[in-house]
Each structure stands twice: as structure tokens, then as C-alpha cells.
Amino acid sequence: MLDTKLFDASHLSPVMPEYRPVPADEEEYRRLLRYAFRPEAGPELDEDDDEPELGDRRGLFEGDDLRCVCKHYWFTARVRGDWHDVAGLSAVASPPENRRRGLVAQLLAESLSEYRENEVYFSALWPFDYGFYRRYGWGTVTKYTKYETTPDALALDTEPTGEFRRLEADDWRLLEPVLDAHGERYTLTIDRTEEWWRHRVFEGWQKDPYVYAWMRDGEEQRSSNVSDDEPRDDEARGYVVYTIEEDGDDKRLRVWELAYADDDAYCHLLRFVQYHDSQVERVRLYEPENTDLLDVVDDPRKVECEVRTGPMFRLVDVQRALESLSYPDDARGRVVLQVSDPLAEWNEGTFELVTDEVVRCDRIDAGDDFDANPDATFDIDATTDVNTLSQLVAGYYSVEDGERLGDLVVVDADARDRLATLFPKRNVFLREGF
């Protein structure tokens, strides 16, 4: 059932616009995206508007007229130590003549319904405006660090060992173990498909990047006492994905992705970037939220460091999402949450989460429950909006953060301790662009 609390349907046509797939050959879809994200390019379509057919196109139609669009990507991501299906929402676009009609709100609500029907209980997106998507229940769950510096500032006291190898898309399997090792540290790491590696790592939107891997030195390995369990010389230990761009009168090397299995590989990747000192004047790096590079370089004053916010995250179905998670072994017991949701009426209510030998989550505010057991009492331990609950589930917020920065209200210290045991804070980093 579509919830219309956040939009006024009075300006819509008498018949509610229909949510349905957008055909692959629908040029209006491409025109809407071009106007939304590249209006300076003008109205005429060109080769840059073509995109690999990753994900599923959706739109709202009035008759045969396409009014607004989005795209759904279907991921598998690590959430609190386990792999879960996550829907990536992208390419939300509406032309100016169709705005202020509630169409985007309807599109988002219909998208959540589709995710739920497909038993996908988590959603993520990169917002064009954080406040806009916060109104509809998504919450920020990632911060990342943008470093800006010169190649010379990355000159480290690192002995040049190993081999740098330029890779092509057919080499994507070499990089999987590196991403796995690096991604184990972070919630919301995506389990990439071959298609994603080929079309979203080795290919770019307007130009393709360079991809280089650092390989362990085979001669060094053979001369050392490295066991058979250690990485062999034909295995990548780190990789870097980058482009070189015009930056005014200068050139800048822009690192889109940096992944490494250990600190040794990290230093070698920085050495590789530093080797471009004869070609570029500036370097830009993106990493998970940290300031480690300031401690690695000789002079941290030569490195500009800025923390930025990244993707947002949302529970699609509170009851089923909470029931699907794994909880710490010492998180045995019961907690009752009252949840508000501006877009999904099935999330609006009171839920009892029990984490004993079998985890279950029941909605307990329906009349049938009280009729069946009129003497039952359901003391609420905490109230929250779906935004803050989503941030707790991801591990971006601790319970203390949720109370201080979000919309979480906890009734007492005992309930606070139980919630903190259920939802300990995690390192969260969703690196994928979509």
C-alpha cells in the first residue's frame, strides 16, 4: 500500500501515475538523466549518455508519458558480519515541469515496496541533497576522507620491492582477494560481481581509469622463510584506480579507489603515486574516515585533509531486517522499539525484538495481539525514527550517538545497556559509486 503522508497528490491527474519498468530503448529516460545530472551539456543526446545495462530502470508513467525515473541495483553487502541483500537506489530524476507534484515521493515509496516484495530489507543511496532523503527515512552512514597533496609529500622511506603491474578488465579476479582483505574491516562492503568490476572499476563514466596492482616480489619471497600459507608472488597485495585530469594550468592525479591487504602494500601504493611527480602537480586521494596519512608522511602540513559525508542507508522492512541480523553472543534478551517512518506504513509501529537462541522480531501494536492476550504489557524501551534506527543497525551510530545526534529516546539505563549490546558501533564504509 502506498503511503502518501509526505506528498500532496492534489495536483496529480485523477489516475495515480503507474510505477513500472522503463524499456531499455526509452530515450526519454536518458533525456531525464541528462537534464538532472548534466544540464550544462545541452538537450541533445550523445555517446556519453550511453551506460552499461547494470541495474533495473523504473519510472512513473501517465499513460505513455514518462514523468520521473530511478534505477535499482541489487547488491550483496556485509551488514554486521553477515552478507545481506541490499538495494542501491540511483538515478532519481524528475524534469522541472513535473516537480512539486509528489512524484518523486511516490517513486521512492513504490521502490521500497518493490524491495520488500523481493525480500530485500536494506537500501542505500548517494544523495544529491541529504536533507531531501532524510525526510524520506534514509540516514547518513558513511564518512570518508579526502586528501589533497603533492606527489613529493608522499615520498616515504619505503624500500622499493615488488612489482607494479598495469591491469585490464580481464584481470579483475586478481583484485578480489585484495578487496576482500581490505573490506573485512568495514560494514557495507559490497561483494562485487564480475560485471561490476568490469563496468564500474575498469570503466569510467566519461573516461576510463588506469588500474595498477602491487605484486609481491617473487625473488624476495623465494629467498625468505615465507610459508606456503603466505601470499605468493603472483598475487596482488594492493591496487590503485586513478585518472589524470587537467587542474587549471596543472595536472592532478585523482585516486578513485585504493585498496590494500596490509600496511606494507599501502606504503608501496603511495610510492607508486609519488612516482608521478614529473607528470602531475597535485594528488587527490579518497579513503575511509581516518587521518592515518598524516602520520605516514614526513610533513603532515603538506597534506590537506577534509572529512566528507558519503552514502545514506535505510531499513526497508524494520521487522524483517531486525530479525535477519546476527547479534553478539552476549546480546540475549528483549527490547521493545516504537518506530516512526514517513514513507513505509509497515514500519510505523511498535516492535518486540527477542534475541535468545532464536532471533525473532514481532510487531506488537496490532489489535489482534492485544485481543489474544489482553493482560500482556508492552513497555516501550525506546522510540526512534527509521533514520536513526538504520544508522544504529549499520553501526554508524552508537546508542549514545543516536540519543545525542539522532532521534533515539531511551527510557532508562537498563534499556540503554541492552540496546548498546545489540548494536555496537562499527567501522562503516560503502565505497561503491552508483
DSSP 342-378: SS-GGGSEEEEEEESSSEEEEE--SHHHHHH-TT---
Give the residue, 40 or 331, on which the prediction is more confident: 331
Greatest mean pLDDT among 50-64, 213-227, 298-312: 298-312
Q: List the Cα angle 149/155/159 in 5-degree steps.
A: 150
CATH topology for 9-120? Aminopeptidase (3.40.630)
Mean residue pLDDT across the chain = 88
Q: How far apart are CA 38 and CA 128, in angstroms?
A: 13
99-113, 300-314, 387-401: which range is least confident on average? 99-113
pLDDT score of 10? 46
Task: State the DSSP code for 248.
Answer: T
Task: State the DSSP code for 102.
Answer: S
Greatest mean pLDDT among 82-96, 136-150, 354-368: 136-150
Write the CA distances from 250 to 49, 132, 271, 281, 368, integer angstroms.
28, 36, 21, 6, 69
Q: Given pLDDT bands bounded at 50, 70 and 90, which one contains residue 86?
A: very high
Q: Given pLDDT bands bounded at 50, 70 and 90, which one contains residue 230?
A: low
Looking at the DSSP assignment, which residues form a beta bridge with residue 257?
A: 241
Q: Are 167 and 239 in contact (CB under 8 A)?
A: yes
Q: Tell me which CATH code domain 313-422 carries.
A: 3.30.1050.10
Q: List the Cα angle 105/345/425 in 5-degree steps.
A: 90
pLDDT score of 200? 94
Provide the 10 A C-beta neighbour count for residue 55.
19
The answer to whether domain 9-120 and domain 313-422 are alike in fold is: no
Structure pTM?
Answer: 0.87
pLDDT score of 48? 58
pLDDT score of 47? 64
Per DSSP bridges, beta strands 282-288 and 250-260 are parallel
Hey, which bits of 375-427 come out as E strands? 382-385, 409-410
Each domain of the chain, given as residue ranges in start order, spans: 9-120, 144-309, 313-422
Q: Given pLDDT bands bounded at 50, 70 and 90, which one contains residue 38?
A: confident
Query: At the top level of CATH, which class does the domain 144-309 belong to?
Result: alpha beta
